[in-house]
Amino acid sequence: MKEFFNVETIEAVLGHAPSFAAVEVETVSLAECMGRILAEDIYADVDIPDFNRSTMDGFAVRASSTFGASEANPAYLTVKGQIPMGVKPDFTIGPGEAARISTGGMLPEGADSVIMIEHTDLLDDTTLEAYRSVAPGQYIIEKGEDIQCQAPALSQKTRIRPQEAGLIAACGRTEISVYKRPMVGIISTGDEVVPVDQTPGDGQIRDINTHTLSGQVLAAGGVPVVFGIVKDSRDDLMEKCRSALHTTDMVMISGGSSVGARDFTVEVLEALPHTDILVHGISISPGKPTILARSGQKPFWGLPGHAVSAMVVFAVVVRPFLDRLCGLPNATRQFGVQAVLNRNIASAQGRVDYVRVRLFDQDGVVMAEPVLGKSGLIHTMVKADGLIAIGMNTEGLDEGTVVEVVPL
């Protein structure tokens, strides 16, 4: 075992993530794929689109027939007909000819562009006045312009959003291979922790962490498996940990990671078979007394008991490991919001401080106001819009500093 609180940097801790493998693969229907991670490459079975199509309501024309057209000198075209949606035109477009077409309609042979209906006037049933010129290819999508037949459309290890689901549908796939959703066991510990539906007595608190951590797991693509509250008993905690490891892909214990005579997490981890403690202490605030262990091939976390500390550690450190289990090649990058700090913030060197901030607008400038409070105060997370990081070799940030706010 590592010496207690032999503190590791965040980067060193994250360096362990690639050593854990993704979960198994399963086949799901297109309707069930949202948010999942692809476990296969997707190829187009047809050209997308598989015909030249209009992107505007207007008239299909040869662009050369409109060259030089203006309101003062319009071009006059002969209307050959109208193109119904979903039907291949049975005529061609020659010089000086046009055909009415709707958005998404199939261009007839000979047409290479569309002139918007707003730039035309029908003088009679067969005579069109066009007072704008168009270039070849304007207001159309050519056959295969989106994706060509048999070309790769999506790569494995891609998270499926609505747009990816649409592309999968365009490729004609009704079932796809995805990584299973990792099952994440959540255990709360402590004699002082009571269920949510129980009124706390003297010295007791309701179980907050089960619900905050469950929400974070869900948001990251995992499935929370709640194992309830374990009192400060080595045997009870051992039994619960064995059960969690047997049925889930990753385990998180909240509480029991700090110095204390009744904290049994380290003792239990040392007693579990095929378990090694990789980290006990991270240079992060809040959340320094975090534990990471490997039990077999599964990550096992000992998180702080304070709600804010546990949430921050999950967002910064645990989430990349869950991303790995989900099948993502790299940790999910949360792009921050640039904001201007509205007051000075002090920080201790030797650790990365994560400060909760509230965002607000001031004369068109996004400002970040620190939400100060101890790590046990959950209301500070409710008030916060995101976190800013103060580097471990920095004594603080000055008012007016431009900071990156990672959304919560």
Please, which residues bridge with residue 175 across strands?
Answer: 29
203-251 pLDDT, tens digit per residue, is 999 999 999 999 999 999 999 999 999 988 889 999 999 999 999 999 9
Question: Hunting for tokens 């990753």 — which residue is that?
Answer: 250
Q: Which of 28-42, 82-96, 262-276, 301-315 has the lowest mean pLDDT?
A: 262-276
pLDDT digits (tens, 9 = 90+) for 54-100: 999 999 999 999 999 999 999 999 999 999 999 999 999 999 999 99
Backbone angles phi, psi at 67, to 5 degrees: -55, 130
> Cβ neighbours of residue 220 under 8 Å, at least 6 residues apart?
319, 322, 323, 326, 332
Query: What pLDDT was estimated at residue 2?
Result: 43
pLDDT classification of 257: cutoffs 50, 70, 90: low
Q: How confident is the model at residue 408 (pLDDT cuts 50, 70, 90)?
A: confident
Classify residue 156 as exposed, middle or buried by CB count within 10 Å of its CB (0-12, 13-18, 19+). middle
Amino acid at 107: L
pLDDT, mean over the chain: 93
> Interior CA angle at 254 toward 337 and 287, to 5°?
45
| DSSP character string of 312-361 | HHIIIIIHHHHHHHHT-SSPPP-PPEEEEE-S-EE--TTSEEEEEEEEEE
**With bands split at pLDDT 50, 70 and 90, how would you rate the model's confidence at 1?**
very low
- Tell me the two tokens of residue 398: 């000055």
Helix (H) or strand (E) holding 59: strand 58-61
Cα separations (Å) of 327 from 176, 181, 403, 408?
15, 9, 31, 23
Residue 400, pLDDT > 50, answer: yes
Domains, the chain = 10-24+180-326 (3.40.980.10), 25-44+153-179 (3.90.105.10), 53-141 (2.170.190.11), 337-407 (2.40.340.10)
Please tell me the predicted confidence (pLDDT) of residue 375: 73
Q: Is residue 357 within 8 Å of residue 289, measured between CB atoms? A: no
List of residues 6+ apart from 167 with CB closer than 8 A: 42, 147, 153, 154
| 326 within 8 A of 263, measured Cβ to Cβ | no
User: Predicted confidence band at 123 (pLDDT cuts at 50, 70, 90)?
Assistant: very high
- Structure tokens given for 380: 């500070």
Is pLDDT of 359 > 90? yes
CA distance 341 to 157: 37
Please check the confidence at residue 263 and state whether its pLDDT lies above 80.
no
